[in-house]
Amino acid sequence: MTTYNENHYGRWLTKSELGTASGPAYQQLSAFKTTKNQLLCRRCGETVSPEGQLPDGRFYCRHCLVMGRLVSEDCLYHLPRKAFVAQSYLVWQGELTPYQREVSERLCQTVSKGQDCLVHAVTGAGKTEMIYQTIDQVLKTGGACAVVSPRIDVCIELHKRLKRDFSCKVGLLHGHSEPYTRCPLLVATVHQLYRFYQAFDVIIIDEVDAFPFVDDASLYYAVETALALDGVQVFLTATSTDALEAKVKAGQLLQLDLPRRFHGHPLVVPSFSWLNGLEKGVKKGLLPRALVRDIKAQRATGFPLLLFFPHIALGERLAQSLKTALPHQKIGYVSSQEAQRLTVVEAFRSGQLDILVTTTILERGVTFPGVDVFVLWAHHRLYTKSSLVQIAGRVGRSSDRPEGLLRFYHEGKTRAMVRARQAIQEMNAKGGFS
């Protein structure tokens, strides 16, 4: 008896995931393929290492093990994708600026021609709104679109916005989400694309410069494999990568630039401030007087303050030291290890917290209107040029306050700090700001 599962269309399935579903439409492929005497995993594209050998001599893929173990002689099952109802689902009532509209229209034209594209837009340019017309163009033909990012927090923010602005079912898929149900518009972490095969007409990759996407060739493979044979990739970034720039130069990608923020004001340029003794002080529960003085002056403005700090354990102690030094301020702390981080972030956004100490988890994909940003230990190796540009982009995103305080506190300027400031100045120059 033929039994198809609606949620299987366009997916890779293991035997256990297939369950009782069956029928001639289900394609069966070996989970591994041999190329140049190497065993490659069909799901993630990685070479199976000798360490992946079981006692019985079979091999398994260690790279995508979290998606369910694949062993030699296993098969993957695939139910080819099926068209959705062709109609417009866009209900967004906002308006694009002339600069945004130009990029949006050119992106639609590029995608309709089947050309992969890189949209290089400054932080706060309004990249999300600029992809709406392209998404709608796909959905109006009965196609499927995925908007993906390396970061869970970014995906959650994107899902909120797309769910509000499109009337179709908008899915959200990440390592801690509800199970997948079929939908024409999906927001997902890039890793989740391992589970799809030739499923999407367009895949839009946001924050392409972010870890782990930037350093993981298998995630590029996941995007290509999840894309329909005639599908299109759209890369979004404020800080491009060497690999993408090489593809632009080779003519493999068309680049569209938007060097202006949506409100028409320049990016805020960081100032550098020398600050030593921070680590020693935090370990003792104390803070440098210069830092306390600067924070008190900032708090007198009434605007929220985001404090970036690159060390998880010491970051928590820093937050405790701040609470001691500034007892009348409402202070929170968030990191990747904080189970309630979404609640804490929302409390800061809604004004329940005055100061939020954070690791680089909030360097991108979030907007806090009117916020000021201090980067502590800006000389730390964890802060790359890309991450510092992204952190700087948290400031001045609101049309009500397009400026703000942006300071990099350090114990010696690094190349990343200098290059980040230069990149911001260059983008402002491109946008017509001297």
CA atoms of 371 and 398, how far apart (whole Å): 9
Which SS3 state, helix, strand or coil, does residue 308 take? strand
Q: What percent of the chain has pLDDT over 70?
A: 98
Confidence at 211, pLDDT banded by 50, 70, 90: low
Each residue's pLDDT tens digit, 136-147: 999 999 999 999
Structure tokens belonging to residue 352: 């329940």
Q: Quick check: 407 pLDDT over 90?
A: yes
Other beta carbons less than 10 A from residue 282's beta carbon: 23
Structure tokens belonging to residue 203: 């895949």
CA atoms of 48 and 169, how far apart (whole Å): 37
pLDDT of 1: 59
Confidence at 49, pLDDT banded by 50, 70, 90: confident
Q: Is 109 exposed, middle or buried (0-12, 13-18, 19+ CB in 10 A)?
A: middle
CA atoms of 43 and 14, how far apart (whole Å): 10
Q: Is 340 exposed, middle or buried (0-12, 13-18, 19+ CB in 10 A)?
A: exposed
Each residue's pLDDT tens digit, 100-141: 999 999 999 999 999 999 999 999 898 999 999 999 999 999
- What is the separation of C-alpha 112 from the centre of its chain, rounded to a whole number of angstroms? 25
Length of the chain: 434
Between 403 and 73, residue with greater pLDDT: 403
CA atoms of 407 and 272, how far apart (whole Å): 6
